[in-house]
A and B are shown apart, each in its own frame.
Chain A
Amino acid sequence: MSDANELLDIHDAGDFLNVSETSLRRWTNAGVLPCLRVGQRRERRFRRADLLAFMEHQPLRVTNGEARPADVPSPRPVEEAITLTQGSHLCGFYDSDLGRATLAVRFLLDGLQEESMVYLVASTRSTKHILKYLKQRLPSVERDIDAGKLLLSEYQKGPRAQIKDFERRLSAAAKSGTQSFRVFGDTWEMRKKTSAAGFVEYETGYDQLIARRFPVVTICAYDVRQFSGVAVLDALKAHRDTFRYPIERALA
């Protein structure tokens, strides 16, 4: 009988799932299929148990003889928790409303589970859409809203007002004993209220006055359907914590 912890290389893992090596690489890069990296070349190794779990949780359809995960109509499950350092100010990107909900639900749910106060800043429409999926994962979410564990808010009228609002709310919660926060902001809503330069100032102000002063983990989510390539570059530059290496190596 096969050992569930046996490690398969990418070729054998592909045979096991009846998928191509390219598919495995895409899924591991996307974080939906766990793998280990070994050796100087950081080659992928797959635990048989992870492959089985992946297969069981992904309804499969078959195209051209290769099994592929079916299109998933709701945000994918939150996998193992990711350790985040308080003060991390990260940027995320999405290119569909479902993508926005997927990023938000994973992040907010992790925050609620770790008993952080969680703050969602987005338009009413986007908030409604995100909550629809959050409720699927956490039916008791209304109770969290009523208890003030999950705060929902639209952006204030401009960058300065928004930062003041964050300061006021986080300071009050910290005084009441809240020890950690998460903030998920749908940034296009703020961008609509200010110029490109004003928006960069907003990100810089948030970084200095909120992210570094409070025990908070933040994801600023960018809709790439709205932001240009140059704006994406500016966004990445404003979120150094996102990168594995010094950003001067990756952005210029």
Chain B
Amino acid sequence: MGLSETSADPVAAIHGNHLCGIYGTDAGRLDLAVPFLLEGLEKKSVCFLVAPSDVLNEVAEAMKETRPSLDADIKAGRLILTEHQKTPAAQCRFFEIAMKKAEDEGVESFRVVGDMWGLRLLVSASEMVELELGFESLIVPNFPVVALCAYDARKFTGIELLDALKDHADTFKFPMRMLAD
């Protein structure tokens, strides 16, 4: 998909979505993350990008091509670029504190892109599932957030991707019981 094709679609309209994205190239990662975050900024959402530092830079540079004022967004806290916390619990706590603070300041919606390989480098496969479940139980029900957890198909195994798909039922048109077991 071209980066400019960011027209409104249902994803933008529904809060509480916890979606799974999968990419197979570095360019694919940008194709997922950049329009999603740009659209969030246009809609006045506070956006989080959680990824290793090289990915943070790469995505920010790509976003600047469409949004030259990105540095001002970062400075004002509208776009928060951060590396992963060391544990799933710490990551969820980070989102809770940051989103609560933003809500107190009047922010009405959030977007999150998580580049999941960055976390997988720090934790085990089962702890990854723990983070997804923690995010689903502590963040999604309590904040008006749309989250895209982006998985690198070159790094994750088929079995790990199946686990990821199972934890993102919002992504699919049909109940997971029909599509995965």
Contact = CB atoms under 8 A, between A and B. Distances in A.
A139 interface: no
Interface in B157-181: 157-162, 165-167, 169-181
Contacts of B172: 242-244
B145 to A, nearest CB: 9
A231 interface: yes
B159 A242 contact: no
Interface string B22-43: 1111011101100010000000
Per DSSP, chain A at the interface is: mixed
Given A250-B148, A251-B22, 8 more contacts: A41-B16, A43-B141, A233-B22, A233-B23, A236-B22, A242-B179, A244-B10, A251-B21
Contacts of B25: 252
B136 interface: yes
A248 B158 contact: no
Contacts, number: 170
A153 interface: no
B129 to A, nearest CB: 9
Given A30-B166, A244-B170, A245-B11, A93 B180 contact: yes
Contacts of A25: 133, 136-137
A99 interface: yes
B40 to A, nearest CB: 13
B97 interface: no
Given A41-B144, A229-B161, A243 B153 contact: no
Contacts of B20: 250
Contact of A93 (B5, B17, B19, B162): B162
A183 interface: no
B23 A94 contact: no
A82 interface: yes
Interface residues of A, number: 58
A96 B95 CA distance: 35
A234 B175 CA distance: 21
A224 B173 contact: no
B72 interface: no
Among B10, B169, B180, the one with the most A-chain Cβ atoms within 10 Å of its Cβ is B180
Nearest to B161: A232
A100 B179 CA distance: 10
B171 A29 contact: no
Interface stretch (A102-110, A162-170, A204-212): A102-110
B22 A232 contact: yes
Contact of A30 (B11, B153, B160, B177): B177
Contacts of B144: 40-41
A241 interface: yes
A92 B47 CA distance: 32
B93 interface: no
7 contacts: A41-B144, A228-B158, A229-B22, A232-B158, A244-B10, A245-B171, A250-B22
